[in-house]
C-alpha cells in the first residue's frame, strides 16, 4: 500500500514502453520512463517507508503517481502525437455515453 507516494529517485536508464489508461480508453502511446524508481510513501500505520521498483512495476507506479499529480501518459508525448491520439479518441467516442465535450477554459480572474 502506497499512501501519498512520492518518487524520490529515478534511474538514469530509461525505457520506452506502450501505455494505455482506463481514463482515456482505446488509445495507446509509447512513453519513455526511468527503468527503476525509489518511492517514498506512508504505510497503513502512517509510517514512512521507501521501496525500489523496476520493470513493469516501475512503469505502473510512475503512471499512477502521475495521475495524483494531474498528469496523463499523453502529457509525456510530443504535442503532435498527443493531438493525433486525442483526435482519434474523440472520433471513436463521438456519440457514446460519457463523451467529454470540448470546453474553452475561462480565465481564473482575481484570486
Ligand atoms: Zn492511467
- The predicted structure's pLDDT at residue 111: 61
CB 63 within 8 A of CB 74: no
Distance 22 CA to ligand 1 centre (A): 6
Q: Is the pTM of this model over 0.85?
A: no
Catalytic residue among 9, 18, 26, 64: 64
- 64 catalytic, yes or no? yes
- The predicted structure's pLDDT at residue 86: 87
- The predicted structure's pLDDT at residue 106: 76
How far does Cα 12 stand from its chain's mean position?
Answer: 19
Q: Which of 82, 93, 97 is nearest to 28 (CA)?
A: 82
- The predicted structure's pLDDT at residue 89: 84
b or e along 46-76 (b: 16 or more beta carbons within 10 Å of the residue's beta carbon)? eeeeeeebeeeebbebbbebbeeeeebbbeb
Distance 62 CA to ligand 1 centre (A): 10
Query: Chunked in runs of 10, what are the mean pLDDT values of the chain (111 residues)?
Result: 94 96 88 97 96 96 96 94 89 73 70 61
The single-letter DSSP state of residue 22 is: T
- The predicted structure's pLDDT at residue 109: 72
Distance 25 CA to ligand 1 centre (A): 9
Q: Is 62 helix (H, G, I), strand (E, B) or coil?
A: helix
Distance 18 CA to ligand 1 centre (A): 12
The residues facing 57 across adjacent strands are: none
Amino acid at each position: 500500500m502506497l499512501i501519498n507516494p512520492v518518487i524520490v529517485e529515478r534511474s538514469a536508464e530509461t525505457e520506452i514502453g506502450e501505455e494505455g489508461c482506463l481514463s482515456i480508453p482505446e488509445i495507446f502511446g509509447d512513453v519513455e520512463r526511468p527503468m527503476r524508481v525509489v518511492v517514498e510513501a506512508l504505510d497503513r500505520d502512517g509510517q514512512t517507508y521507501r521501496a525500489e521498483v523496476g520493470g513493469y512495476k516501475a512503469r505502473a507506479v510512475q503512471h499512477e503517481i502521475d495521475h495524483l499529480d494531474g498528469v496523463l501518459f499523453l502529457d509525456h508525448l510530443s504535442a503532435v502525437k498527443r493531438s493525433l491520439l486525442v483526435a482519434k479518441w474523440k472520433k471513436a467516442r463521438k456519440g457514446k455515453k460519457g463523451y467529454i465535450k470540448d470546453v474553452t477554459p475561462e480565465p481564473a480572474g482575481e484570486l
